Structure formats: structure tokens, C-alpha cells
Chain A
């Protein structure tokens, strides 16, 4: 938890609290519109020479009014003589105070008494506060030294304050900056720049259930500020994480599709997505979140940081805080961008002429006549990728209001995003509305809410057969014939991709998502805070899919009657979190922070859909289930298995700092989950971490060039329960597919087809981290390095049933273990010269992944049924999902080659080397040396994990101009390109590499013969495993802020014009759409896209 004196200016005077209380009361009353009956109450006083204190005491005794006054008044010598009978309070006060030069104000049941003379005597001071870069600083606390009065700066950094004398001293305090005093010496206008505190050290970092000074942290956390997010392409905030320390982020490029984020490798079989915590609310994704609303992101990497999220921290935690209101003048902010998105990669398939050549080659294998006598006549033919793609427009608007007073803070925003996918008829739009408010009820109690609503529409996604067809369709066929009718492709496996996108253009997914929380905090005693937070994540999806009648391909692209599908899915998660924190500093030496809390959580989901068909007229306004004609035979119900699960957790954490240099964090969390069997519902997740700020030791304290040196070490355990909610139960399956038909009538059926496991328990993730943080030369140069290991044990996974003869679908067991080891680092340089500021940072991560226990089995990492070579496998001693396949050593170019290898086989006592091999096929390597080729000769063709990922960020500012460059790269990953030799039909088009296929007329060809069913096809070979290295200019942003002199007359605070581009440069040798492939299997990828946007941002 953060220390109070950092977050807020510490107030030493009880009077301040009183005044605050008054304000709160005023506010509350006006807010809730209650007008109390204050008049009409009468009092009687008959007293001679009483003190001010006695007078108030007397009045208070007779009324239910609160009296608020400065402590100073009690000390001042005044005596009062009052004689009145049944007089209204106002009258009494009027008579007895006025003669003593005191004033009062009544509001509701509160009376404020103050020194009228002091007020009159005060001097009005105005001024502005800026930061070291000259940017106005809003929300800076401005106080008069020794006086209770205080204010804070507005949006443009300006303030007004009354001071008692022309020699008063103003005190300016702001988080992250050194507190400064300023002696007026007669000045009435003040302009001051605050100096930042030695930057990174006093940065406050959002951690689990609280905040912490970076200097006090023992955990490994990567932080991303809102300024790092503004440059990213419209859409998803997770893209901003790419290239950051410890993270592997794979972007898909499809609009509305979330990038895949992995923190420190992959340890879990089922679902390795990190946990997202947005304003305290845990969710599994952030597609619903508008990146413009984000204030900061903390990526919690090691166990010291994640253990507090024990149950769900196994794959790392990303804590996101959205923007909150800042006290000061209301600031309106409007930003708009307009841009385009375009494809930057193509799959290099044969063009018209080349395709004809390929087909001639294919014919030559069977000695058939060449089908195309003059390939050159076809020219380039149809480029199917071009036929279905376009430059998509992107548009974004965001309007926000931010401001607040001491007692209310608000940040309200609305955003709109419209993005056309680079494929025709794939659009995405999203509305977001956010209201983050905070209300201070009194000095002890605050309440607030963070409410976010997102309404998104997305179109059809790229279906696998469409991708297959884009690559396989003949360039000699045009999308439409002369009459405008869609053409069918050259074989039944392929569909017309252009038709598919056009026919399904009305396909729409409407996602409504509300994620928000209301909270209240109460400072029970000084340092002890109780916080309760009720969070809700609610979604409602509506899918609609009209389809007209068409028959293009009788097997896969046919719709014999028009159809309309509607589907509704809804679900919610609510989490109630209660924490108690205690923050205490003892004698400046010891700093203690305790956290205890518990949460309860419940998730539910349901869904139902239906398909209607045979509509009288295909009219989008008419299509609905309601208008389905005729009998129920035209209606199909679509069901979904409902789900429900609960969790419950208790957690404890201690942070202890001794003499600002010895740090200790210890965490314990207990989690219960409904998903596990009765005896294993609870899991316990401890962690401990130590830190040593060596630079604070006396022997280093005076080394001027060394500002920070911290060593930290942590150990801890986190858990995972991301599995189906029924794995522990022996459930009976009912499915329409398995009904019997007796005497022509359908008879419902039920069966026991799933194994179950009542002993299932939590997956455990044990992590160790050693970190070093350094700062040199006044912290211009900073460095942070972490070495870590992560052992995932009791993996929740579905082991294949060995031998395949059980007939029961296997279920989850706790088996297997995976180890990830790696390092991540950040190296930063930042310097501010007068008008030139610049910085550079280099971050990198590397890890090795190894399966340490897999129960002597080998299983496929994931399975898409249509991919013939599912060879990303899991096996002990290997990286998770490594590529298994055959190594080749040239091509059999003649019968002599075949004979040579047969002789080799004979010599080893085998009858044949590779029975299915023919001339033109690749020669597989006999890995096990037994003289014959079979599945045992498949070997490791590479790991799908990059050996190194990193990014280089450069930024500079000069007189209103700003430039940010972000270069990201990934090295060492291997990709199995399943499409490269996916050749199920001899007429399929192929990658241009196949032009060099072996044939009798191309006996020295470098590629195997092009024959469906040959050993080179639909198989994983070293020939279709490629390096996934890439380097890209992930983002470039160039901005210009108009000078203030131009704007001040228009009462505009700031205008910034900017250009931002994504993927403007992309370097890769990968032969496919994109080297950014999750899990290393490229079978259905979406091409990479670049984007360029112009924008304006206005604050007024």
C-alpha cells in the first residue's frame, strides 16, 4: 500500500478536517437535495464574561448544530456577555459575535465561525505551477506555511490563494515532485516549476490491492503509462504491451480480435492468458476497454507481485487503472483520429502463368497431356488476396471531462471507434462510455465508482476454408462470371472466397459489456483503512447471421434455402472484495503495511439461439425467428451448455521496510474453487520476498553518480483453475446427435462418455526471481534486470487416453510439469536539456521452456480437425508444443537414389527404406538408424518460442515537436507453416516455391514432386518449418503542440496535432502472411496490417 503522505498532502491541523467536514456536508446536502429546517429553533443564554469556548459549548448544548472554527479563535483573548431569551440562533450569533469582529455562516446544521478581520486583511496571490518540462501541473497542493488555508492548482496549473502577509511562504506539494517552498517577498504573482523527485524511485506503482512506492517494492513489475498507449493503433490496449520486458505479445491484425499475451513464457496447457485486473475487477480479456481511458498498466511478473492474486496469478497479472478525476478546473478533452489500415504482407502463391505451369508439371507425373499449352497467355490472372482485401478506414473520437474539487473527482468519457478490416466486409465498431468518480463523504469515508460500458459490433471472422481457398484457388478463375454470378472454384474442397465474404457481409456479433465497480473506503483509525469493492462484469452477446440462397460449390458453399440465425449469450461475474489495510511508520525507521482481505466471486453464463429458414422474402428487416414461415421444421434451436462457478479467497500480506533499505514482503492466500472435488477445493499460495537498497547504505550514500542500487529476491506460488466447471463430476451427456430413432420416432438418449476426476486440485506455479535495479548520473541512466524460473506443477491437463481404445473422453488430471527459465531487462536513458528532451529505452526478454514431466506420453498441443499435420506436440524434455517432423536430406532424383537407400535398408536387415517414397520425393533422415523410415524417425524441428524478444523505444521533444519511435523484434522462434505443403487436391494453387518442384523436365528441382498424397505433402518436414524472426517499426508518432501564445485568446489550453503509424516498416523472411503466430502453427493466419492515422487532441 502507498503511504498516506504521498497520495495526499498530509494535514496536521484538526481545523482542516473540520473545514473539510463542513465542505463535505455542504456538498452532501446539496447533492442529496435535502433542506434541513434550521430556522425557528430558539435558544436562551444568560452569561457574563464567558470565553469563546464556553460560549460555543453553551450554544452547542442547546442546539443540534455543529460549530466549526479555527483553533486560533480559542486561544485568542475574548470574553462574551450574552443575554437573550428564546431568540433564533442567528440573532444570538449576530449580536454576540459582531462586536468581537467575528463572522459566521450557517449551512444546514453547521455553523462556521471565523475572524472577519483576518479575512479582510488577506492578500490575494495568483500564480501558475509547471513541471520541469514547462507543462502546467494541475492538482498541485498550494498552502500557506503555518496557516490552515490551502488550495490546489487547476487544469492549466493556475491557482489563487489568500495569504495573511506579503512575506508569507507558499508550500507546493505534488506526488512525484519535490515539495517546494516559495517566499513571496511582496510578489503577488507567482510562477514556479516543480522539480521531479528522483524519478523512478518515488514513482508509485499500482500493485495487487493497492499501490506501492517503486523504491519499496520487492517484486518485478513492468509499468506502462498512458503516454505509451496513445501511440498504438486504434483498438486494443494489449497491443501496447508488445516488446515490453517479460512479455510475448502476438497481434492478429483482425479487427476486434485481442492480441495473445504471455507473461514469462507459457506454463499452462489449457489457457495461458494472464489475469487482467481493471480497477480491481478481474477479467479474462480487455477487448472491451478503450485504450484512451487507461491511466497506467502494471504487469506483475514475479510471485512476490502476483501471489496476492494467488488463485488466478499463475500466468501473470496485468493490473490496469483507468483515468480518474484530478482536482482543479474542469478540463474538456477531445481527440479525433482518422486513418487507414492496409495489408502489408502477401502469401506468395503462383499467379496465372505460374499456376498453368504448376498444372502442367502435375500432369507430367502421370504422363498426361499438359493442360495448358501456353501458360504465358494467362498473365498474372486473379490475385485472390487482392480480390478480398482493401485499405480499411479507421476513425476514432474520444471526448472526456475531467476535474474535481477536494471532495469530488470525476472523469467521464465517451469514445467511438470504427475500423474496417483489411478484408472486405469485415468491420468493427465500438462505443465506450466511462464514468470514474470519487466522493469524499467526510475525513474518513470515501465512496466511488468506476463504470465502463462497451458496445461493439464485429463482422465475420476468417473461416478456415476461406483461408484455404484464398491460397488454393486458381488464378485462372475470376470471382464472378460475365453475368455477375459467383464462379465456383476448380475443385470441391475450395470455396469462392470473394463470394464468401460478400454473402456473409451481414454477419454481425454485437457485444455489450459492462465492467464496473462501486467501492467505499473508511479510515477506521489513522493508518487503518477498510475497503469494500463490489465489481460486476456483465456481457450480453447477440449474433445475427442472415444468408441468402446460393449454390456455388455443392459441398461447402451452398445454401438451399435462405436462413437467418440469431444467438443470444449472456453471463456475468461478480466479485466482492473486502480488504483491511494498516499503514504505520514507527520512529522513521520502521515502516509497516498489513493487508488482510477476502473475496467471493460467482460466474454464470447461458446462451440460446435459433435458425430460421425458408423465408418468403430475403429482406434484412423482415428476417427474424418470428417471421419463420410454416412448421417448426423451419426452425432449429441452438443450445449451449450453461455454466456456473464460484470462488472464495482469503489473503494476507505484510510489507515491512527497515531504515528505507531493508525490504520484506510476505503473502499468503487461500483460495477455494467450486471446480474441484470436495476434498481439494482449497489451495494455499504463499510467497516471500526480500529487497536491499544497497545505495542507501552509508558506504554508497555519498557516491554521487550512483543514485539507486537495489537487489531483490522473491519466491512464491500461484495457482490456476481455468478449466471446465464439471471435470470433477460424473455427468451424463445428452446430445441430439446421439438420439435413437425407433419406429421412425426420435428417442432421447443419454450416456456416460466423459471420464471424471473427483481428486482434481489446483494447478501450482512456483516462481523464483532475482532482480537488480540501478540508477546512475542523477537517474538519467537506469537499468533493471530480472532472472527468473517458473515451475508449473500439477498441471491441469487432459492427457490423451493411451491406445485410444477406451471410448471415454478423457478429462482433466493434475499431471505433468513445465519449467520456464529466463531473464528480462530494461535499460533506459533520459535527459532533459533546456528545450530538448530525449530518452531511449531498450527492453528485452528471453526464456527457455521445457516440459519436465509429461507422464511418458506425447500429446498434441492443440488440434484443429482440418489441419492434417498437427505436429506441435508436448513431450518430456522438450519445449511445450515443439515441432515434430521429418528431416530431409535432398530428393530422390533417380531410381539409383531409391536403390541406394534400399541397399542401406537391406544392410540394416530391413526390406525397404521408405516404402511410400518415389522419385521426386524428399529423402527422409533415418533418425533412429534402424534402416527404415517410420514415425519413430520424426524428430525435433524446433521450438515455437522466440529466443529473444525486445523493443527499442526512442523519444524526443523539441519546442513543441515530439517524436516517438518504437521498434519491436522477435528472434529464434520456429513456425510450422501447415499451408505451405497442404496439398489435398492436385488442382490447388501453391506457393511459388513449388514452381521448382522436381519433374522429369526439372530433374534438378529443389522442391519435391507436386503430387497429392505423396510423402512430402500434408506432413511436417523441415521443408515447411521456417524462422519466425521479425523486426518492425511497431509504432511511430510525430506530434506538434501549438504554442500557448496562439491559444490563450481562444481560451484553449492545448492543441496537439499528431501522426501515428503502426507497422510502417516490417522486416521478415517468413513465407506466409505473418510471423506473429501463436503456438507456432500457421494454418489460418490473418495477414499483417499497417496503419497510418492523423489526429488532433484539444484540451480546453
Chain B
């Protein structure tokens, strides 16, 4: 009997016994076996704006807002405060995570492009166009945050894992190329139709390209692409209700060109909305409130600007449907109202889970880009018209004559108009991740603009050459064996 058993054992010892494929996962050749399946790889690319990654909020605001004059921090965490008081170091963990995460997103984009290689169809082009839009978006952001960075334009072989960074020019070349491709192959907002709400469109790509050229101070091209969005295609327009744009229902507003995707789902993992959770009212338990609008920002609103009420929540204000007392930490009086909406619809009655989204790119931004580029190209009239569009909507779609607030800007003085446009950008796009990058851009347009401004606020240790970009995280420099070199200012 034992022999029989032993014999059975030997029989089972054929080669197949050691062939065990992973449980619960398919290999890529099986999973992505046809063209349609690539849609799921593309969905992963879109996940980068669904705020599901719980550190996204901290990473995004640290690198896009905290250096500016718009925020006041309510935290002792040096990873945050160093971005605000310019004591930043290459060891900042949020920047480390940003770098890592952005390259993960770039990998997702390149994987889509890799998978579509064997198809030459309209569908494949559409996949490619969306992937290349996001590839441009993240490379552009790397330029803005770090300056020089590593370029990823294809799925690397292991030999290409550790490669040197590229110059800003090389990165810009890829960004522009990608956006031009995206413009060519992406459907327009109306071609996509409502069923594709949330996807990037031909207009989104044009808008981002306008922004890219604006950052390069290539005003002719910035004007050209912004003009297509604002005056030619007319696929997007200003939401008649400024406040609605930030509400749950404003996600797919006609103004939102690249909406965030957060919806509350009771699934494993992250429940909170990282865009919302780090904001809120200091001391109240409503949000972690690690940052709030600065007094300087609050005071920058023109008298009677209705956008102030839509953007700033002031001590003493009530939240509709919220029955508990709102306590405030000593010394804090303001919160960002763009993330404070009536409590009734809060999922689980939890502020942290509000289904709010940041528009990563919106029409008003493009209108202001158009205005700025036009002004720089000495087309003051066009610039004034564009600016007035924004202010008209801000007044509640009323003229100054009717509303009595926010007088129309009429100056044709280039520098004064520029200043007015910049001021408008600050108010219109407050706390949406533009101000810090704008300030650093302004410094290049008007020498010492940001330096003077920050120094006047007491941040006298700000040195543009150094602090305008963040250092490449030291952990990556350290382990690259000299391949990845720190940017000069941070050496």
C-alpha cells in the first residue's frame, strides 16, 4: 500500500506541478488581449485625477500653493512649513512622493502608448491622444515644480531605469509635441458627448498648450491657442454661477476643462477626499485645516466682490445644515469656502468625504491667459474685453453699472493692465493651485516681482534663483550613483 502511495506521489511529480500562475491576477498578454481592453489601462491614467491617492492633497498644495502669499499654514510639520518659509530641503517627503507619483502616472501613460502600438486605428489614436495629454500635463508640472527633470517618453527597459534628467527645453519640446498630437486626435467636448464627461478634449489640450506657451512667455503661441479656445471653438464657456463651479454639481460644468474625479465610494482603502481633508476650519474638527487662506488674500478682494463670499469662509459664518457649534483656533478667522458646502449632502455626515473637486484646468484660466497674452502682444483692447468677461461673471453676470461692484478695467497701459490681469488671476483662481507658479512666472516677466512681494511680507530669505523650484528629492539623487544630478541651485 505504501508503495502504491509512493508511486502515486511520483506520478504527480510531473512538470506541471510547479506551473502555478499568480492567483487573482492575469498576465498582461492575457489581460490586454484586444484593442478594447486598453480602455482599462487608459482609465488608470484618469485615476490620477480621482483624488483617490490620499497624499495627493498634501503633495499638490505643498508644491503649488504653500510658497505663495495666499495661504497661511496651521501645522508644525516641517515638510509643509519649509515650503512656506523657504527652509526647504531635498529631504522633504511630500516632494519625494510627488516626484515618485508623477512618474507613476507617466508610466501609466506610456503603458497605454505601448499597448496601442500594434493597432493603427482611430480608436488607438484616441487612446494615444488622451495618454499623451496626461503625459504632457505631468511633464509640464515637473518642469514647474522641479525645473529640470527626467523625461519619460516610452516604457523603459531595465537599462533605461536610471537615466539623467533632461533640460527644460527638451521637456518642453515633448510637452508641446504631445499636446499638438492630442489636439489633432482628441474629440471636442461636444463630440465626446455627455457620456464622456470628465475626459480631456481637444479644447483641454489647446488650453493647456496656451498655458505652456504663457509660461514660456511665448505670447504669440499662447494667444493663438487661447484664442482658439475662447473665441473660435467656443466649446467651453464661463459657468454663470461662480460658486456652482466648485460644488458637487459643478464637476462637469461647461467651464471645467479637466475636472477632478472624486466621488465618495464606500470601498476599501481611502474614503476621504484628499482635496478637502487637509483644508477646513482650524480647531473645529471640520477638516484637518493644515492651511487656510491668508489675511493677505482675504484683503486682496475688491470691495463687494461676490467671489469673496464664494471663496472665503469667515469666523462667525454658519454651514447650512451643520448643527454643532463651530469652534475656531485662536488667531484664525478664515477658511477656504470652495471646500465648504452645506452639510446635508456630506456623505456619512462627514466633512472629509464631500464630493468636491478641483478643476485642474478651467475656462476662466484660459480667458485670463488670453488676456495676458493679448496685452503682452499690445492688443490691449482684446485683453480688456477678456478681463471684463471674467469680472462680468464675477458680478453675477451683471455689468458694473448694474452691480455697482468690480469696476470695469479700462487702462490700456501695458504694465498697469498686466498688473490688473495678474490681480484678477489671483482672485478668480484663488487656492486652486495656480498662485505660487504664477508668482514664479511673474518674476521672469517683471524682474524681482515675486522677490519684492515676498520680502515685503517678511519672507526675506526668499531667493528666486534657489526657491523658485524645489530640489530633486535627495533619496533619488543619492541612489542614482551620480546619474541623476541635483539642480544647480540646490547643489
> Which A residues are closer than 8 A to B by beta carbons?
491-492, 520, 522, 530, 532, 551, 554-555, 558, 560-561, 576, 578, 598, 600, 604, 611, 613-614, 632-639, 641-648, 672-674, 681, 725-726, 729-744, 746-753, 755, 800-808, 856-859, 868, 916, 935, 984-986, 1012-1013, 1017-1018
Contact = CB atoms under 8 A, between A and B. Distances in A.
B261 A741 contact: yes
A600 B270 CA distance: 41
A646 B18 contact: yes
B249 to A, nearest CB: 10
Contacts of A681: 18
A646 B31 contact: no
B345 to A, nearest CB: 13
B457 interface: no
A726 B248 CA distance: 41
B481 A856 contact: yes
A935 B18 contact: no
Contact of B10 (A598, A725, A751, A804): A598
B20 A804 contact: no
Residue of B41, B262, B284 with highest tally of chain A CB at under 10 A: B41
Given A561-B348, A751-B111, A807-B106, A522 B52 contact: no
Given A554-B288, A646-B18, A803-B150, A737 B24 contact: no
A806 B197 contact: no
B18 A672 contact: yes
A986 B20 CA distance: 53
Interface string B83-114: 00001011101001001100111111001000
Nearest to A932: B491
A984 B13 contact: no
30 contacts: A520-B2, A560-B348, A598-B10, A600-B13, A613-B348, A638-B268, A674-B20, A729-B22, A729-B27, A731-B25, A731-B26, A737-B47, A737-B269, A741-B263, A742-B198, A744-B198, A747-B46, A749-B42, A750-B32, A802-B161, A802-B483, A803-B484, A805-B484, A806-B156, A935-B90, A984-B76, A986-B76, A1013-B77, A1013-B78, A1013-B87
A217 to B, nearest CB: 28
Contact count band on B? 35 or more
Contact of A648 (B17, B45, B100, B268): B17
Given A738-B47, A857-B481, A984-B76, A725 B20 contact: yes
Contacts of A555: 288
B173 interface: no
B445 interface: no
A1067 to B, nearest CB: 37
Residue of A604, A672, A747, A857 with highest tally of chain B CB at under 10 A: A747
A642 B104 CA distance: 25
A859 B479 contact: yes
B107 A802 contact: no
> Which 8 A-B pairs give the minimum distances between C-beta atoms?
A807-B107, A1013-B78, A554-B285, A740-B46, A749-B43, A804-B476, A802-B162, A726-B22
A166 B123 CA distance: 106
Contacts of B473: 804
Contacts of B93: 868
B453 interface: no
B198 A751 contact: no
A1030 to B, nearest CB: 33
A935 B5 CA distance: 63
A647 B20 CA distance: 10
A532 B10 CA distance: 13
B158 interface: yes
A746 to B, nearest CB: 7
B476 A803 contact: yes
Given A743-B194, A743-B198, A641 B41 contact: no
A578 B9 contact: yes
Contact of B23 (A637, A643, A916): A643
Contacts of A613: 266, 348
Contact of A733 (B25, B199, B481): B25
A748 B162 CA distance: 31
Given A561-B349, A753-B104, 20 more contacts: A530-B3, A530-B6, A561-B348, A643-B23, A644-B23, A739-B47, A741-B50, A744-B251, A749-B43, A750-B44, A801-B161, A803-B161, A803-B163, A804-B476, A804-B484, A806-B156, A807-B100, A807-B152, A1012-B76, A1013-B87
B152 A732 contact: no
Contact of B99 (A751, A804, A858): A804
B60 interface: no
Contacts of B52: 736-739
B478 interface: yes
A212 to B, nearest CB: 24
Nearest to B277: A555
Contacts of B402: none
Contact of A600 (B12, B77, B481): B12
Nearest to A746: B265
Contacts of A643: 23
A1013 B81 contact: yes
Contact of A985 (B25, B37, B76, B199): B76
Contacts of B21: 729
Contacts of A857: 479, 481
A522 B40 contact: no
B285 A644 contact: no
Contacts of A859: 479
A611 B265 CA distance: 13
A681 B285 CA distance: 56
Nearest to A642: B23
A361 to B, nearest CB: 15
B114 to A, nearest CB: 8
A468 to B, nearest CB: 13
A739 B49 CA distance: 10
A762 to B, nearest CB: 13
A1012 B87 CA distance: 12
A583 B82 CA distance: 74
Given A558-B285, A749-B43, A1012-B76, A578 B50 contact: no
Residue of A491, A802, A986 with highest tally of chain B CB at under 10 A: A802
B254 interface: no
A230 to B, nearest CB: 37
B19 interface: yes
Contacts of B483: 802-803
Contacts of B197: 742-744
B198 A741 contact: yes
A635 B266 contact: yes
B27 A732 contact: yes
B356 to A, nearest CB: 13
A988 B475 CA distance: 28
A808 B106 CA distance: 10
B446 interface: no
A598 to B, nearest CB: 7
A636 B347 CA distance: 14
Contacts of A598: 9-10, 13
B215 interface: no
B190 to A, nearest CB: 14
Contacts of B43: 738-740, 742, 747-750
A648 B44 CA distance: 39
B90 to A, nearest CB: 7
Nearest to B353: A560
B242 interface: no
A411 to B, nearest CB: 24
A385 B29 CA distance: 55
A740 B161 CA distance: 28
B28 A807 contact: no
Contacts of B251: 744
B263 A744 contact: yes
Given A634-B266, A742-B199, A858 B478 contact: yes
Given A600-B12, A742-B46, A753-B104, A984 B77 contact: yes
Given A749-B40, A858-B479, A637 B22 contact: no
Given A560-B350, A749-B46, A802-B480, A808 B18 contact: no
